[in-house]
Amino acid sequence: MQARQADELKNLFGDRLSLEVETLERYSRDETSHLQAMPEAVVFAEDTQDIARLLRFCTKNNVSVTPRGLGTGVSGGALPARGGVVLSMERMNRILEIDTDNRMAVVQPGVITGELQEAVEEKGLFYPPDPASLDSCSIGGNVIEGAGGPRAVKYGTTKDYVTGLEFVIPTGDILRVGGKLRKNVTGYNLIGIMIASEGTLGVVTEITLRLLPLPAVRTDLLVPFESFRKAAHAINEIHKTGITPVVIEFMERRALEIVETYLDSKLPVPGAGAYLMLGLDGPDPETIERDYERVGDVCLENGAVDVFVAETTDMKERLWKTRRSLHDALHHLSSEMEREDVVVPVARIEDLLMEVDKIRTKTEVEVVAFGHAGDGNVHINLLRGKLEEKVWKAERKRILAELFKLVISLGGTLSGEHGIGLVKKEFMPLVASSAELELYKRLKQAFDPAGILNPGKII
Ligand SMILES: Cc1cc2nc3c(=O)[nH]c(=O)nc-3n(C[C@H](O)[C@H](O)[C@H](O)COP(=O)(O)OP(=O)(O)OC[C@H]3O[C@@H](n4cnc5c(N)ncnc54)[C@H](O)[C@@H]3O)c2cc1C
């Protein structure tokens, strides 16, 4: 950015713009291990007009703009790969309305996901998408990454709840599409195009979300299995019962050991090859009890050592704290790591996990698997640990190529929720034909003719 352009931005945004080195440094990273890209300025938008003004200026002056929610992304989406301006949405953080009659919420994008959940639950309503980062990520970031979470097994992901959006495209035009509508097939599905667009097509400034009635009762189970294989197999057997748990999370033994050491707290269950964390909800305690007994029996018939029911709030909180701390625990163990979030059809999850178990036997890299196995989406983490840079780079590349080939052969794809961003774009040709990639480019051109919005991501 030229000095003149920085001055003009200062005039436009006053103290909503920062050029301070400390601020630039802070906004040069997100949660993507080892990636950094310095912005030249950070703008803290306070309303939609700020964003329209900034995008018009940047399109006219050919300056890159990278939108940023709360910087918890793990594919490098919020990193300003080509410098320019980081556009922070953190000050646009108001819940504008919780409409109990229509069961809808209208929010600004910077609202923290967990805070929205608490606010709607106070009114007896329920916003199900629950990324493990829910205490620190924004709803805007969730929409733009298509975020999911453990509850996706029963309730789907963010995309299943967005019914309306206001967004600004790089020309500065403000669009309002959809609304508090349960049905809407008017024109092209621009909401669908914006979801998971990773901040490359437009900046989301207001979101309307569908809410559900809050389920009356919820129970969580922790089920240790004799072996990795048996836990993987049990996932499909649970699906065959016809009961849809809210959550089926898989955690191999090593993952639990790492997180227990990190939290310095042990769960009261025996050591085992792998664990399933299950959640069930329903209208009354009798229904839940019937369902969890059936699911528990299926687990025991398929190699579970025991079935622990988290009866108390304290036990439920400990379980979820353990699950949500996994990322930080792995990061603590190895500051550099590769977090893959491949997804396969649910019935192929056992095949995926067993093949990943084989991959680990052929490498010095530590491979740790956990995640939302109940919806086919597992996090395969490669930890660098103390490996020499040369060995790590070569092994990382070899394992990823093997993993992605495997996933594609099982009918799966590269990312279930974290997005492509910077970290996986080199692999896009494995899953998208040249015709598809060409269409992406033309779509990008239609929204962003000057190519200023979050350049260098996805393709
Ligand atoms: C510990 C941990 C656990 C996680 N668990 C999960 C999980 O279970 N499920 C899951 O899906 N993800 C998970 N994530 C990833 C991350 O939290 C999600 O991708 C989340 O949606 C990012 O939100 P954010 O506000 O931090 O966005 P950011 O990281 O700031 O940005 C993400 C992308 O969205 C764009 N963006 C942000 N706001 C806007 C906007 N208003 N308009 C246009 N573009 C915008 C950015 O340019 C960027 O491309 C986890 C991350 C961590 C660190």
Q: What is the SS3 string spanning the chain?
A: CCHHHHHHHHHHHHHHEECCHHHHHHCCCCCCCCCCCCCCEEEECCCHHHHHHHHHHHHHHCCCEEEECCCCCCCCCCCCCCCCEEEECCCCCCEEEEECCCCEEEECCCCEHHHHHHHHHCCCEECCCCCCCCCCCEHHHHHHHCCCCCCHHHHCCHHHCEEEEEEECCCCCEEEEECCCCCCCCCCCHHHHHCCCCCCCCEEEEEEEECEECCCEEEEEEEEECCHHHHHHHHHHHHHCCCCCCEEEEEEHHHHHHHHHHHCCCCCCCCCCEEEEEEEEECCHHHHHHHHHHHHHHHHHCCECCCEEECCHHHHHHHHHHHHCHHHHHHHHCCCEEEEECECCHHHHHHHHHHHHHHHHCCCCEEEEEEEHHHCEEEEEEECCCCCHHHHHHHHHHHHHHHHHHHHHCCCECECCCCCCCCCHHHHHHHCCHHHHHHHHHHHHHHCCCCCECCCCCC
Is the CB–ligand 1 distance for residue 131 below 6 Å?
Answer: yes
Regarding whether 412 and 346 lie in a shared domain, the answer is yes
In a domain, 436, yes or no: no
Q: What is the CATH number of the domain that holds 260?
A: 3.30.70.2190
Is the CB–ligand 1 distance for residue 50 below 6 Å?
Answer: no
Using the atom order of ligand 1, give the atom closest to the CA of residue 147: 11
In a domain, 458, yes or no: no
Is the CB–ligand 1 distance for residue 72 below 6 Å?
Answer: yes
Is the CB–ligand 1 distance for residue 220 below 6 Å?
Answer: no
User: How crowded is residue 152: how many other Cβ atoms within 10 Å of its Cβ?
Assistant: 26
In a domain, 201, yes or no: yes
Separation of CA 50 and ligand 1 centre (Å): 22
| Sheet hosting strand 274-282, strand order edge to edge | 308-310, 217-225, 274-282, 247-252, 366-372, 377-383, 337-340
> How many structural domains compose the chain?
4
Regarding whether 237 and 203 lie in a shared domain, the answer is no
Q: What is the CATH number of the domain that holds 132?
A: 3.30.465.10
Mutate to test the pocket of ligand 1, among 35, 64, 133 (most ligand atoms within 8 A of CB): 133
Q: Which residues pair with 276 in a beta bridge?
A: 223, 250
Using the atom order of ligand 1, give the atom closest to the CA of residue 109: 41
Angle at 260 between CA 255 and CA 261, to 5 degrees: 100
Last residue of a domain, one of 42, 65, 90: 90
In a domain, 439, yes or no: no
In a domain, 451, yes or no: no
Regarding whether 381 and 299 lie in a shared domain, the answer is no
Angle at 260 between CA 259 and CA 266, to 5 degrees: 150
Q: What is the CATH number of the domain that holds 64?
A: 3.30.43.10
- Give 410-456 pLDDT, tens digit per residue: 999 999 999 999 999 999 999 999 999 999 999 999 999 999 999 99
Regarding whether 207 and 235 lie in a shared domain, the answer is no
Last residue of a domain, one of 66, 90, 114: 90
Regarding whether 107 and 86 lie in a shared domain, the answer is no
Separation of CA 134 and ligand 1 centre (Å): 10
Regarding whether 312 and 346 lie in a shared domain, the answer is no
Is the CB–ligand 1 distance for residue 170 below 6 Å?
Answer: no
DSSP β-ladder status, 17-18 and 41-44:
antiparallel
Using the atom order of ligand 1, give the atom closest to the CA of residue 89: 41
Predicted TM-score (pTM) above 0.85:
yes
| Residue with CA closest to ligand 1 atom 5 | 132
Mutate to test the pocket of ligand 1, among 33, 46, 94, 144 (most ligand atoms within 8 A of CB): 144
Query: Residue 158's domain spans which residues?
Result: 95-213
Regarding whether 356 and 344 lie in a shared domain, the answer is yes
Is the separation of the CB atoms in 15 and 61 below 8 Å?
no
Mutate to test the pocket of ligand 1, among 137, 159, 323, 379 (most ligand atoms within 8 A of CB): 137
Is the CB–ligand 1 distance for residue 247 below 6 Å?
Answer: no
Q: Which residues of the chain have pLDDT under 50?
A: none
Six-digit token pair at 325?
């701390």
Is the separation of the CB atoms in 111 and 94 below 8 Å?
yes
Last residue of a domain, one of 40, 56, 90: 90
Using the atom order of ligand 1, give the atom closest to the CA of residue 73: 29
CA torsion sign for 345, 348, 353, 358 is negative
Is the CB–ligand 1 distance for residue 66 below 6 Å?
Answer: yes
Is the CB–ligand 1 distance for residue 418 below 6 Å?
Answer: yes
Mutate to test the pocket of ligand 1, among 48, 74, 340 (most ligand atoms within 8 A of CB): 74
In a domain, 185, yes or no: yes
Is the separation of the CB atoms in 270 and 305 below 8 Å?
yes
In a domain, 441, yes or no: no
Is the CB–ligand 1 distance for residue 318 below 6 Å?
Answer: no
Alpha carbons 252 and 332: distance in angstroms, whole number: 18
Is the CB–ligand 1 distance for residue 151 below 6 Å?
Answer: no
Q: Is 385 left (phi over 0), alpha (psi -120 to 50) or beta?
A: left
Is the CB–ligand 1 distance for residue 142 below 6 Å?
Answer: yes
Is the separation of the CB atoms in 235 and 248 below 8 Å?
yes
Separation of CA 33 and ligand 1 centre (Å): 14
Regarding whether 197 and 100 lie in a shared domain, the answer is yes
Is the separation of the CB atoms in 104 and 180 below 8 Å?
yes
